[in-house]
Amino acid sequence: MKRDLLQRLQAARAAKRPAALLTRLPDGAQSLFPEDDVPPALAEAAQSALHDDASRTVTLGNEQWFVAVENPPLRLVVVGAVHIAQALVPMAAALGYAVTVVDPRRAFATEERMGERVTISTDWPDDALRALAPDVRTAVVTLTHDPKLDDPALEVALRSPAFYIGSLGSRRTHAKRVARLTEAGLTEAEIARIQAPVGLDIGAVTAPEIAVSILAQVVASRRGGPKKKAEQ
Amino acid sequence: MTKTDAEDILGIAQDWLAEGETVALATVVETWGSSPRPAGSRLAVTQSGRLAGSVSGGCIEGAVADVAKQTMASGTPQLLDFGISDERAWEVGLACGGKLKVFVEKVG
């Protein structure tokens, strides 16, 4: 790989622009998608690999190309700079997620509590979520179990294409939440997207254990979980 | 921090180049069966012997690093096949029983 191509690829990644490094096998001729002009069939293969988030070798005519996918990081938006968030943030960062913690309570939402590997927003949760615009590569977890903070975030998240939405709280808390969100005009199907009680049921007790159970559920949502395994 | 998929191998390769190292990059381009690392996994190697990232569960990194040194000397990329049907895999011990192709190129 030429040094200037590596620099262009790293610039695209730093700017969080989806990119694909295209390498012809075995001679190593390379282009960067979508910056460089490439034949339509190769562009289509690159687009499709980016969509699937899967690097792969494709055969086009009598040529083989390796498409290396460089999508921006998955994002995790955590509402509530609470005790569980303190455990969740570094674990999610280790999984490669770009993490944003949203909490308008400035005493909680500090870098000292949340660490340096996180973006902090002290906006009201609905404003913060609207600005973050969750997409298909975003997970949203609400942890405050305070309706005035969690609900506005959920109202935005449930109308977004976020791939995962989880909400801390017991079954009873969640039943009340469902009633409030219904009152707010969300449909049954929208509300059914909430994972609650949040996390896989592994009997988690401590904050780090709950963080593990939440992240395990996020990964299962992303990767397909047991269902996908069974289909293979 | 431990080695994870969050590790930026390209960034490390760039840093090494900036330090004046000669660098090669090995990338998994195709896998079959139970290969532990998916297509797109990278290993960066320097002529001086530094390693970052991985292309398997540790089975073939040594062999790939040897080829990478040849590639750094010649500048010619190589496409390597590792698998149970390949005698070379027995030599290096692909204990996982998978098959994979690794592309090795010089950087810079």
Count residue pairs from A and B with Cβ separation < 8 A.
Answer: 66
- Put simply, the answer to whether A96 touches B6 (Cβ < 8 Å) is yes
Note the CATH architecture for domain A75-223: 3-Layer(aba) Sandwich (3.40)
B1 — pLDDT class (breaks 50, 70, 90): very low
pLDDT tens digits, A11-44: 999 988 899 999 999 999 999 999 999 999 999 9
- Mutation choice for A interface testing from B10, B19, B67 by most A CBs within 10 A: B10
Nearest CB to B29 within list A25, A27, A95: A25
Average pLDDT, chain A: 94
pLDDT tens per residue across span A48-67: 999 888 999 999 999 999 99
**Tokens representing residue A54 in the block:** 């899967």
Give residue B84's pLDDT. 54
Of B1, B10, B101, the CB nearest to A6: B10
Is A69 in contact with B101 (Cβ distance < 8 A)? no
Q: How confident is the model at residue A136 (pLDDT cuts 50, 70, 90)?
A: confident
Largest CA distance in chain A: 62
Q: What is the ipTM of this complex?
A: 0.85
Judge: B39–A9 Cβ closer than 8 Å, yes or no. no
Q: What is the mean pLDDT of residues A122-148?
A: 96
3-state secondary structure of B86: coil
* CB contact (8 A) between residue B108 and residue A55: no
Q: pLDDT digits over A65-81, tens only?
A: 999 999 988 999 999 99
State how far residue B60 is from chain A, nearest Cα, in angstroms. 19
Q: Rounded to whole angstroms, how far apart are CA atoms A150 and A167?
A: 8
**Minimum distance, in Å, between the CA of residue B101 and any CA atom of chain A:** 10
Residue B59: both structure tokens together: 């089975």
Q: What residue spans define the domains of chain A?
A: 3-70, 75-223
Task: Return the structure tokens found at A7.
Answer: 């620099």
| CB-based contact, A91 to chain B, within 8 Å | no
Q: Chain-centre distance of CA A172, in angstroms?
A: 28
pLDDT at B108 > cutoff 50? yes
| Pairing of β B42-46 and β B23-32 | antiparallel
- Among B4, B77, B107, whose Cβ lies nearest the Cβ of A94? B4
- Say whether pTM exceeds 0.90: no
User: Strand locations in chain B, DSSP E?
Assistant: 23-32, 42-46, 51-53, 78-82, 99-107
